[in-house]
Amino acid sequence: MSKPVILVTNDDGIISPGIRALVEVAQHFGDVVVVAPDSPQSGMGHAITIHDPLRIQKVSIFDDLGIPAYQCSGTPVDCVKIAIDKIIKRKPDLCVSGINHGSNAAINVIYSGTMSAAMEAAIDGIPAIGFSILDYTFDADFSAAKVYAKSIIQNMMNVGLLPDALLNVNIPKLPLDEIKGIKICRQANAKWKEEFDERRDPSGKNYYWLIGNFVNNDQGEDTDAWALDNGYVSIVPVQFDLTHHHAISFINKNWNL
Amino acid sequence: MSKPVILVTNDDGIISPGIRALVEVAQHFGDVVVVAPDSPQSGMGHAITIHDPLRIQKVSIFDDLGIPAYQCSGTPVDCVKIAIDKIIKRKPDLCVSGINHGSNAAINVIYSGTMSAAMEAAIDGIPAIGFSILDYTFDADFSAAKVYAKSIIQNMMNVGLLPDALLNVNIPKLPLDEIKGIKICRQANAKWKEEFDERRDPSGKNYYWLIGNFVNNDQGEDTDAWALDNGYVSIVPVQFDLTHHHAISFINKNWNL
């Protein structure tokens, strides 16, 4: 019986340490292929490249692990699409994305290229998980994250999940022995308050850097934000059917169309 | 009493006829401000610009309607954020996005910059609607779309909606008297099958254009795809809490973590 094929991607780019950590975990479970952006793609959400063509290039970055790897000029979602159509040439048995340098908990799931890559796989019927660690630094310590990623991937491979769900896994910035375990959570109702840093260029014109402040007004103890604040790994099952079913009946009852 | 402030944006860019059609409708309901991308941003999903600064410029394109307008170098989501923080300098009372040239029904909601702009507003607590017409052409006929947009905006302003919902409105490519009415729908379970057109550049290297094929295997008659195929305007209420609640209990019951 042939081994499962596992697609590994991310949004921080193919040279980020986080994707290497995830490749090292994934290779316990099957034949890994890496297809990841050739440059950082954080905050790209579910963007796809329509107005430009894409390039892919085989790279040697994972030769030491015996893993084929391709960098792509597009977004994380592009990487998943082109991996299936042009590189693997079939659907992989699993897609894992990350490990992202930085949180994708709460509303970040919507902005995250890491999570959008996993969602793209899930839309295509592929079991999919996005992993993130709450440490933005290049030299983040992934040792605890790798232990949890292995356990979660094991369950995904052995037990599976509902066909219209994927997972958003976030791991606190803690050593393994200080992590209290895993909580299965809902997405915290938190958001970014928009804020821009206004500057003036040498020719006197204004330009703006997006900064923003994370605001969590959700007091629930069943959220990913709560779990992470309290030393747990958070797993939020995520859906790509965005229908707000309660609002259907609200409109049918109250609107005059 | 001061009039409501209405932010109008889109993803096709500030010069597209679709946004002009929407501005003409919106100005019946309040003081309109346009903040839209300076170039086409279709397929940008919920992307935000992190690695580059943004530029905004006041433009005269809607002077004939007496409407202030700004073009922004960023994505549709960036437009909403910078409009609130730097242009309007408060939350608008309504955000409408579109009218998009092309369908945002079914899974397109996830890839759509038009819908992501509306979602960004909704996350911020602003009533929000994205409008799209099933006609990709520059000279699409928006006359029927404007009639329906007016009725829908009227209900949003007068009755309102649940605070964690926004609307995805799609309008068939039909004259007004052939549209059968409005259906409040769920998102069809359809997807794009990835497909790339492979070409060779003058130096002999391959490059790839994303094409893709839309596949709808959802036979339900309560979907947006069904409504549009049958001559109705579709309204799908959309949520930004992506939690798959059934999967929480599935994991708690079946997984061994």
- Read off φ and ψ for residue A161, nearest 5 degrees: -145, 170
Confidence bin at A212 (pLDDT 50/70/90)? confident
Structure token pair of residue B154: 């009227």
What average pLDDT is seen over chain B?
A: 96
pLDDT exceeds cutoff 80 at A118: yes
Q: How close A195 gets to chain B, by Cα (Å)? A: 6
Q: How close A15 gets to chain B, by Cα (Å)? A: 17
Q: Which range is least confidently modeled, A44-48, A54-58, A137-141?
A: A44-48
Strands A31-37 and A128-133: unpaired
pLDDT at A1 (0 to 100): 65
pLDDT at A88 (0 to 100): 97
Please say whether the beta carbons of B38 and B57 come within 8 A: yes
pLDDT at A42 (0 to 100): 86
DSSP B73-109: SS-HHHHHHHIIIIIS-S--SEEEEEEEES---TTHH
Portion 213-252 of A in contact with B at CB < 8 A: 235-248, 250-252
Candidates A81, A212, A251; nearest CB to B210 = A81
pLDDT exceeds cutoff 80 at B24: yes
Chain-chain contact of A248 with B237 (C-beta, under 8 angstroms): yes
CA torsion A22→A124→B108→A218, rounded to 10°? Answer: -50
User: A177-189, pLDDT tens digit by residue?
Assistant: 999 999 999 999 9
Candidates A45, A152, A243; nearest CB to B237 = A243
pLDDT exceeds cutoff 90 at B2: no
**Of A193, A209, A196, which Cα lies nearest the Cα of B87?**
A196
Sign, CA torsion B147/B152/B155/B156: negative
pLDDT at B120 (0 to 100): 97
Q: Residues of B with CB below 8 A from A78's CB?
A: 210
Long-range CB contact pairs, A65-69, < 8 A, 24+: A65/A23, A65/A24, A65/A27, A67/A23, A67/A27, A67/A32, A67/A33, A67/A34, A68/A33, A68/A34, A69/A14, A69/A33, A69/A34, A69/A35, A69/A36
User: What mean pLDDT comes out for the span B236-251?
Assistant: 98
Confidence bin at A2 (pLDDT 50/70/90)? confident
Q: Residues of B with CB below 8 A from A185's CB?
A: 248
pLDDT at A201 (0 to 100): 94
Portion 35-54 of A in contact with B at CB < 8 A: 40, 42-51, 53-54
User: What mean pLDDT comes out for the span B124-129?
Assistant: 97
User: What mean pLDDT comes out for the span B83-91?
Assistant: 96
pTM of the full predicted structure? 0.96
pLDDT at A12 (0 to 100): 95
Quote ipTM for the complex.
Answer: 0.95
pLDDT at A250 (0 to 100): 98
Q: Residues of A with CB below 8 A from B75's CB?
A: 47
Confidence bin at B212 (pLDDT 50/70/90)? confident
pLDDT at B1 (0 to 100): 65
DSSP B147-174: HHHHHHHHHHHHT---TTEEEEEEE-SS
User: What mean pLDDT comes out for the span B213-226?
Assistant: 95
Strands B232-239 and B181-184: parallel
How distant is the alpha carbon of residue B46 from its chain centre?
11
Candidates B47, B111, B250; nearest CB to A162 = B250
pLDDT above 90 as % of chain B: 95
Give CA–CA dist B83/B34, Å, rounded: 9
Residue B246 amino acid letter: H
Enumerate the domain spans of chain A: 5-188+219-254
Q: Into which CATH architecture does domain B5-188+219-254 fall?
A: 3-Layer(aba) Sandwich (3.40)
In order of A56, A126, B10, B52, the CA distances from A16 in angstroms are 18, 24, 34, 20
DSSP state of B28: T
Candidates A80, A110, A240; nearest CB to B240 = A110
